[in-house]
Amino acid sequence: MTPPSPSELRNTLGANLRELAKSTESVSALCRDLGINRTQFNRYLSGESFPRPDVLFRICQYFNVDARIILEPLSDIGPGAQSLLNHPEIREFLARSVPTLDETQFPSGFYQFVRKSFLHDESYVRGLIYVYRKDDAVFLRGLEAKEAMKEQGLPADSRTREFRGLLLAAEGGVAALASRRNSLSVSFNFLARIPSFENNFWVGYTVRTVRESMTGSRAARLVYEHLGHDGAKARAAARQSGFCSASDLVPYQRTQLRGDEPFY
């Protein structure tokens, strides 16, 4: 394979920068944000000049792309080059929350969660999720309880029960947005770490996006326990998944969930 010539690299970068700049307020504002002289940036756009490594790094960081923008057209790099969270309308508000959630704040691995049931006031729901990192973002995945699916008249196969979500760093804790396929049963979670002997508990709340109902709640307190990558603990938690009563919970979970107190 013949390596690209310097002029080809400049032209590829220029074409990609012109495409990326379309999503910004203006080229002048973009140059101010990047700390780049407007005249010099125009030379990058036209393919007349190539940025220094430190300037290229700033450009890649700003647009959430990698150095492939000097080698390939944006259309060939893939959809990850310009994620929705990095859209200029919300970049300063949401995009920086994704890569800043590190392992010390919310480690990868299995978690058991417990919350009060949305369907039955006297019942609780236990479940298992897996948190993992990919492409500088933090994701979660898990399965809805079979009993909950059946009570709603929904199939209880694994594909239908599966939900996935995105975790973000938030003031004082961690936020998560999760959904089943096709945006069914969307929920929002907020969790804050609670000091404990093993420092492995997070407490917060979950809210589901449904209409107000006289027979069910839309928000509930939530407890996460980090199990790490211990397969035995994860399998034990998976066997416990589903509806349970307050007496089935460990004292710490009952204390944090405060089932006899209304949630505000």
pLDDT number for residue 178: 93
pLDDT of residue 82: 44
pLDDT (0 to 100) of residue 259: 86
Task: Find out whether 76 and 184 touch, Cβ atoms under 8 Å.
Answer: no
138's CB contacts (< 8 A; 6+ apart) are 98, 101, 106, 108, 131, 132, 166, 167, 168
The angle subtended at Cα 75 by Cα 48 and Cα 98, nearest 5°, is 100
Instruction: Read off the tokens for 122.
Output: 């006297």
Choice between 50 and 74, residue whose per-residue pLDDT is larger? 50
Of 144-148, 184-188, 209-213, 230-234, the one with minimum mean pLDDT is 209-213
pLDDT of residue 85: 66
Q: What is the pLDDT of residues 96-113, one digit of tens each?
A: 566 568 899 999 999 999
> What's the mean pLDDT in 131-137?
84
Residue 263 has a pLDDT of 80
pLDDT at 81 (0 to 100): 38
Q: What is the pTM of this model?
A: 0.67
* Selected residue with higher pLDDT from 74 and 59: 59
Using CA atoms, how far apart are residues 43 and 26, in angstroms rounded to an integer? 16
Provide the token pair at 151: 């009570």
Residue 80 has pLDDT above 50, yes or no: no
State how far Cα 205 lies from the chain centre: 17
Domains in the chain, please, with CATH?
6-94 (1.10.260.40), 109-257 (2.40.128.120)
pLDDT score recorded for residue 87: 66
The rounded distance, in Å, linking the Cα atoms of 154 and 148 is 9
Report residue 21's pLDDT band, with 50, 70 and 90 as the boundaries. confident
The better pLDDT of the pair 130, 215 is held by: 130
CA-to-CA dists, residue 106 to 110, 163, 180, angstroms: 11, 19, 22
pLDDT tier, 151 (very low <50, low <70, confident <90, very high otherwise) = confident
pLDDT band at residue 48, thresholds of 50, 70 and 90?
very high
Helices 27-34, 53-63: axis angle to 10 degrees equals: 120
Which pLDDT score, from 0 to 100, does residue 189 have? 95
- Continuous H helices in the chain: 6-21, 27-34, 38-46, 53-63, 74-77, 146-151, 158-161, 231-240, 251-257
- Max distance between CA atoms of the chain, in angstroms, equals 72
